[in-house]
Amino acid sequence: QFGAEFRRFSLDRYKPGKFEDFYKLILHIHHIANLEVMIGYADVHGDLLPINNDDNFFKAVSSAHPLLRVFIQRQDEVDYSNFGTNTLSRKKKALVTLRNDNLRRRPHINISMPHDFRPVSSIIDVDILPETHRRVRLYRHGCEKPLGFYIRDGTSVRVTPHGLEKVPGIFISRMVPGGLAESTGLLAVNDEVLEVNGIEVAGKTLDQVTDMMIANSHNLIITVKPANQRNNIIRSSRMSGSSGQSTDSTASHHSLPTSHVLQNFHPDEMESDEEADIVIEGGLEPQHIPKLHSLTSSSLSRINGSSLSHRLQRDLVLNNSSGRESNGSIHKLLSSLKTDPRHSLVIPRGGIEEDGTVITL
Amino acid sequence: MRRFLRPGHDPVRERLKRDLFQFNKTVEHGFPHQPSALGYSPFLRLMAIGTRSGAIKLYGAPGVEFMGLHEENNTVMQIHFIPDQCQLVTLLDDNSLHLWSLKQQGGASELREEHRFTLKGPPGSPPSATQVTAVLPHSSREVLYLGTESGSIFVAELPWLRVLEGRTISPEAVLQRIPEDNCNRRSCELVEALQEHPKNPDQILIGYSRGLIVLWDLQSNQATQHFLGSQQLENLYWQRDGSKFISCHYDGSYTQWPVSSDNKQSEPLENTVPYGPFPCKAISKIYWQTTKNGLPYIIFQGGMPRASYGDRHSISVIHGSQQTAFDFTSRVIDFFIIFSSDPAAEFDDPSALVALAEEELVVIDLKSAGWPAVHPPYLASLHCSAITCSHHVSNIPLKLWERIISAGSKQNMHYSSMPWPIDGGTNIAPDPPQRDLLLTGHEDGTVRFWDASGVCLHLLYKLSTVRVFLTDADPNDNMNTLGEDEWPPLRKVGTFDPYSDDPRLGIQKIYLCKYSGYLAVAGTAGQVLVMELNDEDAEHVVDHAEADLLQDQEGYRWKGHEKLKTRDGPVRFEAGFQPFVLVQCQPPAVVTSLALHSEWKLVAFGTSHGFGLFDHQQKRLVFVKCTLHPSDQLALEGPLSRVKSLKKSLRQSFRRIRRSRVSSRKRRGAAGNASEEMELAPVQRKIEARSAEDSFTGFVRTLYFADTFLRDSSRHCPSLWAGTNGGTVYAFCLRVPPAERRMDEPVRAEQAKEIQLMHRAPVVGILVLDGRSTPLPEPLEVAHDLSKSPDMQGSHQLLVVSEEQFKVFTLPKVSSKLKLKLTALEGCRVRKVTVANFGSCKTDDYSENDLAVLTNLGDIQIISLPFLKLQIRYPCIRKEDVSGIASCVFTKYGQGFYLISPSEFERFSLSTKWLVEPRCIVDMPEVTSNNHMHNKSGTENAARKSRGSGKSPGDCEEEDEGKSGRLMEHALLNDEKVLKEIQSTLEGGRGSFAERNSARSPLGHGLSNGGAD
């Protein structure tokens, strides 16, 4: 039942009604009334966005032209990191379902704000850092841009009980024009690097810090002390980061989680105890663009059938460019659609029957 | 993740960790780097070597080793043992003197620094006034005589090293009794040599640099005799009876001088320039050794004709008509002679010459005809050709061990059968628990097999791969082919030969199967040799195959070295490992990984272009796989492409020399500018994620054979795993025909998996864990009942170690199960990784497997299996010591080796259970051996003792009974008072001293014979 299933139906564009009604309608149409599902839609850019309240349902319907592609997934298969999902009440239900699952997955904190663009960087943990510091996260996944910056040794002045003291530090020495680091506008030459992915760099050599940054290059979180302190975030207004994505966070170690959570928040990648608790299946790699996973064993509700292959192809390009793939079922789907754009090197002949001969982890 | 770093709170585990892990640097193997001084104690029979980095190492019987390090890390200039003591004095190049002593502590002796002292002159005096040039530890054991650059001789009291001001022998005092027309103040500049009279401790011989030699009486404080040498003095040596001494000079001559109390100024008896008549180099040290047959041994260093042989490092031995100049491979630091240690013996009867050269220790047997060399049990020159790789094999089966030894003994026929002459101290370390082999690959295409079981790293066997290939150098072309009548009679000694004929011969990877005796060796020019141990000489053809790793890739040109040419037809191989298969990779890039499976008879090899699998049973290439990224030009062209040709570089260096002569001043200005520029542009590092387009991603870093579940969880099959620099892991399913059809059916291989690690870091290790999470055993290990057969029921796991992460995957479906992100957490990268077995020191029945990891920071970490938890971390190697880190090799039982210099391995241990370290005792030879210390070296003499022992035979005679006489002697000599009495009674007739002594010597003989009975 939960392969891919396509239905086409019509709705009143101008009076879409309530989300709850729509939800029931969907369940009815698909004869899956007894399941918890997650509804998403493809926006004008082809990105998958959630429908879980009246507002975004309305936005989805109004933006449909002429068809609205709605995707329905089992609740327990949804990767919450894809998009903000539910209201708090729904989240609880989701947790119940999760526990039935064999996989132990951490509860994900969901948000209600949809987003229709891909982040390249963000300022995080504003609430727990001193105002003079800035924690910047660079998203390199799927993006062809180089990280594009250099670091150097230097000295910084610290205030200590004995007065001012010069201590060695690591600084950003150069930005590559057109690189990811420069394009974010969040990092600048002479910013002092304090932490890399939650690990302090004090006492580490330039080479060590270089290695740490490269090792984290797929999801690099750098805490810097900007050389220019005038552009610092002012606590009262949240929306001041140049990426427009500046939000508070619920860093897992923080005792007082705030009500708003960053989109694309992957608990796995924070400095929490990822290895100890989470078993990551080959197909679910947190570093990757989340949209892809939602396709996995999901029920696809289609309004316009012809756009599926287009959509898949697009995903595959992404998929290919970052050199990863998910598990076998999507392979079958892909090969049957004959839209595999990859070269034979990536999937060796005869490898399709095997489960995932090419695995990027 | 961070939780891993916090110390575990499990107290049971913490306690267990203490029982399992312990870090110790235990012993340094090999030859000390940059030795600078040599000393020998005939009394202790210990040799001491000092180095330029301030280390001092003592060696005695095999296994007896001590090491000390001067805090200052300054060059050790001189080493002198205090006569009849477990003490020695070192002089460093900062003019400081250090007193070391061997003390027993907890059942074993230890070398410790006791006192230090720097000679200080009166305020305002130039530093040269107190610059020590000669040291004489007096036989009284109470004082040191210190000759200085100013010509003064200071007296320092032992053991506190305090100067006794009143006893200084000033040049003015010396000159008082010497006629002024012969000498002036300048004659007494710089004390070159100080020697104590062999029979009379109150007389010392002072040799000044300008040629003046004075016999000084310590009692009367005046010069009793002086000798005017016309040449600049180098050294002095007393003859055994004290009637003559010999001096050697800067012009390559030596002179004999008679000593008598009659005349104050003596004329030389004999003055010879042994390699004259043309100008010769200085003779820096000389020995004159008497023998029973009357013909003395004259042994001296240097003296070669300046023009034609001035560059040779030689020690000449002349005995009657026999004369040989031993020609050393590097500069001679110092040498000594081991001769009769019996104080009463009339003659020296030298038995061995021990020479310390810059790169090796050579011992010559002077008793056997032809003066053959003695094979040293330690201090091996590991670097006689530069070490290019090493491989350790633990727990060698006895059979293989014996066969290797027997192959090696056939190679060592030319060595003397003399037992090792430096045999002081007692090794009390327990016997090594198992037989371990360390194999080192060298630049000249040889593999050396070392016995690494114990404290002495001893060469067992040397294998050369050169014979398989045609090289430019003719093996018969060596320096020994000098004609019979060649003058001087040079003879090459030593093995140090750092000049490789052909760098392509260099050994890069070694793999030895200890059960089957199969050995695979791979080299710089893509050559892979498979060898078998044969106890007999044999002549056979080596099967030759080529593996084209580029295959269908076209349009590339290899710009590196050519492949090695092979010999056609059968080749004669000596007993030992004999090659039977040669595979040459094309392009002939350096082999970067190698694996051998002796049970399946397969060998896998990888280069920067790809990897291949060869069936050495059927002698057939099974498959090759190109791992090269099409855009990777750098790897394609080869490492040598950017190195200019020899001709070109020579031309350039000449140009550089010319330029430097023309405009050295101009250049200096430019250099200043350059350094300024350096300051303007500080070191910076680029932060960029790894990409598939990076260079050398195809470089094959590791190869691994495993019998595991690759395709499905019901059937296991042989497999080959390969990991590359770009973070790719390839897995091939192999079909090996059963033994009975092994020759009939081909081995097949099929690619089953390809894993691309997201972080793309180089894969440095691949390992499969069985159902019990135990690493799969080595091939044939189970067949030899030495390992439990692996658990093939439970699910297997794959461990991939990249430079940045440890990652466990399930098998056969490869999904990530666990990981440890080492680099992300600590900023260090994995350089070496091995599975090691750690046993508990408390209970015999507990042991576990862990990963021993060396990082690029030189730290060693132990990481548990299969949970990948960091257990413990030890700093081991300095992170700047790149060659040390690169050379590190772990053993299977938690020990390891790394190079601390080109010629030395440091051995370390991570285990509480397997610890190989020197543990030895040096006893003060008691009075019985006090006999023997007499007159052993020309530098020190114990006349008082000699008289003491001279007296005791008399006592013996009175007692008329050998045994009780010996006891009596003990009693007498142990009692200082009695000794002094004896001495005072003898004080009277010093004049006829020599005569009396010679009269007594037969008695001495009688005694020592009695003692021996």
User: Tens digit of pLDDT for each residue in B244-286?
Assistant: 999 999 999 999 999 887 767 778 888 999 998 899 999 999 9
- The pair of structure tokens assigned to B897 is 């080796």
Q: What is the pLDDT at residue B811?
A: 85
A275 → closest Cβ in B692, B818, B827:
B818
Mean pLDDT, range B402-410, rounded to an integer: 93
Tell me the nearest-neighbour CA distance from B690 into chain A, angstroms: 7
Task: Give the three-class secondary structure for B9.
Answer: coil
Q: A335 with A354: CB under 8 angstroms? A: no
Query: If 0-12 CB within 10 Å is exposed, 13-18 middle and 19+ buried, where does residue A44 land?
Result: exposed
- Asked if the interface predicted TM-score (ipTM) of this complex is over 0.90, the answer is no
Question: Is residue B207 within 8 Å of B192, Cβ to Cβ?
Answer: yes
Look at the pTM and tell me if it is higher than 0.90.
no
Give pLDDT tens digits for B51-78: 999 999 999 999 999 999 999 889 999 9
Q: Which of B3, B815, B818 sits opposite A281 (nearest CB)?
A: B815
Please list the residues that pair with B937 across neighbouring strands: B940
pLDDT tens per residue, range B490-542: 899 988 888 877 889 999 999 999 999 999 999 999 999 999 999 999 999 99
Instruction: Choose among A113, A72, A76: nearest CA to A91.
Output: A76
From the CA of B696, how many Å to the nearest CA of chain A?
Answer: 17
Mean pLDDT for all residues in chain A: 58
A85 vs A87: CA distance, rounded Å: 7
Beta bridge partners of B731: B721, B753
- Structure-block tokens of residue B714: 């019901």
Mutate to test the interface with A, among B9, B626, B687, B729 (most CBs of A within 10 A): B687
Give me the pLDDT at residue B390, please: 94
Q: What is the domain partition of chain A in residue ranges?
A: 19-92, 121-231
Round to whole Å and give the CA distance between A359 and B613: 24
B234: helix, coil or strand? strand
Are A197 and A174 in contact by the 8 Å Cβ rule? The answer is no
Mutate to test the interface with A, among B4, B626, B627, B685 (most CBs of A within 10 A): B685
**Quick one: pLDDT at residue A186?**
84
Q: What is the pLDDT of residues B843-867, one digit of tens each?
A: 888 889 999 999 999 999 999 988 9
Longest dimension (CA), chain A: 74
Read off the pLDDT band of B961 (50, 70, 90): very low
Task: Place A283 in a pLDDT band, splitting at 50, 70 and 90.
Answer: very low
| CB-CB under 8 Å, B756 with A215 | no
Least confident of A176-185, B641-650, B930-939: B930-939
In the sheet where B322-328 sits, what is the strand order?
A: B283-289, B297-302, B313-319, B322-328, B490-492
Q: pLDDT at position A257, please?
A: 31
Q: What is the pLDDT of residue B972?
A: 41
Indicate the helix (H) or strand (E) that contains B14.
helix B11-20
Q: Which residue has the higher pLDDT, B979 or A47?
A: A47
Instruction: Give chain B positions within 8 Å (CB) of A197.
Output: 824
* Burial (Cβ within 10 Å: 0-12, 13-18, ≥19) of residue B896: buried
Quote the pLDDT of residue B622: 95
B899-926 per-position pLDDT tens digit: 999 999 999 999 988 888 888 888 876 5
Whether A207 and B2 lie within 8 Å, measured CB to CB: no
Of A274, A287, A360, the CB nearest to B756: A360
Query: pLDDT tier at B174 (50, 70, 90 boundaries)?
Result: confident
Domain A121-231 has CATH 2.40.128.50: no
Whether the pLDDT of residue B99 is over 90: the answer is yes
Task: Indicate whether A92 pLDDT > 60.
Answer: no
Rounded Cα distance, B902 and B894, in Å: 23
Chain A's closest residue to B855, CA to CA, is A208
Strand-strand pairing, B490-492 and B322-328: parallel
What percent of chain B shows pLDDT beyond 70? 83
- A142/B contact by beta carbon, under 8 A: no
pLDDT value at residue A276 = 29
Q: How far apart are CA B159 and CA B137, in angstroms?
A: 11
Determine contact, residues B574/B516, Cβ cutoff 8 Å: no
Q: For B33-40, what is the mean pLDDT? A: 95
Contacts of residue B625 in chain A, CB cutoff 8 Å?
Answer: none
Q: What is the pLDDT of residues B765-810, one digit of tens each?
A: 999 998 888 899 888 887 777 777 888 877 899 999 999 999 999 9
More confident residue, B304 or A274: B304
Q: Looking at residue A35, what is its pLDDT?
A: 65
Q: How confident is the model at residue B366 (pLDDT cuts 50, 70, 90)?
A: very high
**Nearest-by-CA chain A residue for B688:** A147
The predicted structure's pLDDT at residue B208: 92
Q: How confident is the model at residue A347, as a pLDDT?
A: 34
pLDDT above 70 for B29: yes
Check if A213 contacts B (Cβ < 8 Å): yes
Which candidate from A152, A207, A217 shows the least CB-CB separation from B682? Answer: A152
Residue of B nearest to A274 (CA): B1
**Distance from the B124 Cα atom to the nearest Cα atom in chain A, whole angstroms:** 42
Phi–psi pair at A71, nearest 5 degrees: -110, 135
Distance of residue B683 Cα from the nearest chain A Cα, in angstroms = 6
What confidence score (pLDDT) does residue B813 get? 85
pLDDT on residue A86:
37
With pLDDT > 90 as the criterion, what percentage of chain A qualifies?
4
Which ranges of B111-181 does DSSP label H, i.e. alpha helix? 171-175
- Most B CBs within 10 A among A174, A189, A359, hence the mutation to make, goes to A359
Question: Under DSSP, is residue A298 helix (H, G, I), strand (E, B) or coil?
Answer: coil
Query: Distance, in angstroms, between B502 CA and closest chain A CA?
Result: 36
Q: Determine contact: A212 vs chain B, CB below 8 A.
A: yes
Amino acid A15: pLDDT? 63
Domain A19-92 carries which CATH code? Answer: 3.10.20.90
pLDDT band at B635 (very low <50, low <70, confident <90, very high): low
What pLDDT score does B654 carry? 56
Per-residue pLDDT tens digits for B674-723:
444 444 557 888 888 877 777 778 889 999 999 999 888 888 899 999 99
The string of pLDDT tens digits covering residues B135-171 is: 999 998 899 999 999 889 999 998 888 888 888 898 8
Residues of chain A with Cβ-Cβ distance to B827 below 8 Å are: 199, 201, 204-205, 207-212
Judged against a pLDDT cut of 60, whether residue A274 lies above it is answered with no
pLDDT of residue B569: 86
3-state secondary structure A104-135: CCCCCCCCCCCCCCCCCEEEECCCCCCCCCEE
**pLDDT band at residue B625, thresholds of 50, 70 and 90?**
very high
Per-residue pLDDT, averaged over A194-209, amounts to 89
Q: Which of B448, B451, B450 has the alpha carbon at shortest distance from B462?
A: B448
Reported as a pLDDT band with limits 50, 70 and 90, residue A220 is confident
Residues 297-356 of A with CB under 8 A from B: 323-324, 348, 354-356
Of A60-74, B176-190, B595-609, the range with the lowest mean pLDDT is: A60-74
pLDDT digits (tens, 9 = 90+) for B741-766: 999 999 999 998 889 888 889 999 99
Write down the pLDDT at residue A71: 67
* pLDDT value at residue B605: 96
Q: Per the structure block, which two tokens stand in for B976?
A: 């200082």
Mean pLDDT of chain B: 83
Q: CA–CA separation, B144 vs B713, rounded Å?
A: 79
**More confident: B215 or B1007:** B215
A-chain residues within 8 Å CB-CB of B2?
198, 271, 273
**Whole-number Cα distances in Å, B415 to A192, B311, B420, B492, B573:** 66, 27, 12, 14, 21
B188 pLDDT band (50/70/90 cuts)?
confident
Q: Find the CB nearest A150 among B685, B751, B814.
A: B685
Lowest mean pLDDT among B131-145, B164-178, B381-395, B433-447: B164-178
Structure confidence at residue B413 as a pLDDT band (50, 70, 90): confident
**What CA–CA distance (Å, rounded) separates B855 from B801?**
12
Cβ(A40)–Cβ(A294) below 8 Å: yes
